[in-house]
Amino acid sequence: MNFLILSRLSNLYSTQRLVQAIQGRGHHVAIENPESLCEGHSVDILIPRLGGFRYEESLTNLRQLEKKLSPKKTLNTAANFHQARHKKISAQVLADIPQPRAFETPDCFPVIVKDCLSSQGEGVFLCRSQEELQNCLYKLQGRELLFQEFISESQGHDIRVFIIGDKVAAAMERVAADPRTEFRSNLSLGGIAHPVSLTAEEEQLCIQAVRKLQLDYAGVDLVRSHRGPLILEVNPCPGLEGIEKCSHKNIAEEIVVYAESFLNSHS
DSSP 93-110: HTTTS--PPEESS--SSS
Min dist. Cβ of residue 191 to ligand ADP (A):
8
**Does the footprint of Mg ion cover residue 173 (CB under 5 A)?**
no
Within the chain, residue ranges assigned H as helices are 13-24, 55-69, 78-85, 87-93, 130-139, 200-212, 241-247, 251-265
Nearer to ligand ADP, 61 or 185 (CB): 185
Dihedral of CA atoms 4, 9, 15, 17 in degrees, nearest 10, equals 130
Min dist. Cβ of residue 114 to ligand ADP (A):
6
Min dist. Cβ of residue 149 to ligand ADP (A):
6
Q: Which residue is nearest to Mg ion (CB)?
A: 221
The listed partner (ligand ADP, Mg ion, none) that binds 115, CB under 5 to 8 Å by sort, is: none
Please check whether residue 219 is in contact with residue 162, taking contact to mean a CB–CB distance below 8 angstroms: yes
**Does the footprint of ligand ADP cover residue 202 (CB under 6 A)?**
no
Binding Mg ion (rule: CB under 5 A), the pick from 115, 202, 221, 254 is 221
Q: How far apart are CA 9 and CA 32, in angstroms?
A: 9
- Scanning 7-15, 19-27, 43-51, 112-120 for contacts with ligand ADP by CB under 6 A, the matching segment is 112-120
Nearer to ligand ADP, 82 or 184 (CB): 184
Q: How far apart are CA 225 and CA 259, in angstroms?
A: 35
Please check whether residue 23 is in contact with residue 29, taking contact to mean a CB–CB distance below 8 angstroms: yes
Q: Which of 210, 209, 211, 231 is nearest to 222 (CA)?
A: 231
**β-strand 45-48 against 102-103: which pairing, if any?**
unpaired
Min dist. Cβ of residue 186 to ligand ADP (A):
5
Question: Which residues make Cβ contacts (< 8 Å) with residue 153, sequence separation at least 6?
Answer: 224, 225, 226
**Does the footprint of Mg ion cover residue 115 (CB under 5 A)?**
no
Q: How far apart are CA 50 and CA 192, in angstroms?
A: 24
Q: Which of residues 238-257 bind ligand ADP (CB under 6 A)?
A: none
Min dist. Cβ of residue 130 to ligand ADP (A):
19
Q: Greatest CA separation found in the chain?
A: 59
Nearer to ligand ADP, 4 or 223 (CB): 223
- Scanning 18-26, 183-191, 209-217, 241-249 for contacts with ligand ADP by CB under 6 A, the matching segment is 183-191
Exposed, middle or buried, 185 (CB in 10 Å: 0-12/13-18/19+)?
Answer: buried
Nearer to Mg ion, 2 or 247 (CB): 247
Min dist. Cβ of residue 30 to ligand ADP (A):
28
The residue ranges that bind Mg ion (CB under 5 A) are 221, 233
The residue ranges that bind ligand ADP (CB under 6 A) are 100, 112, 114, 118-121, 124, 148-151, 154, 158, 183-186, 221, 223, 232-233
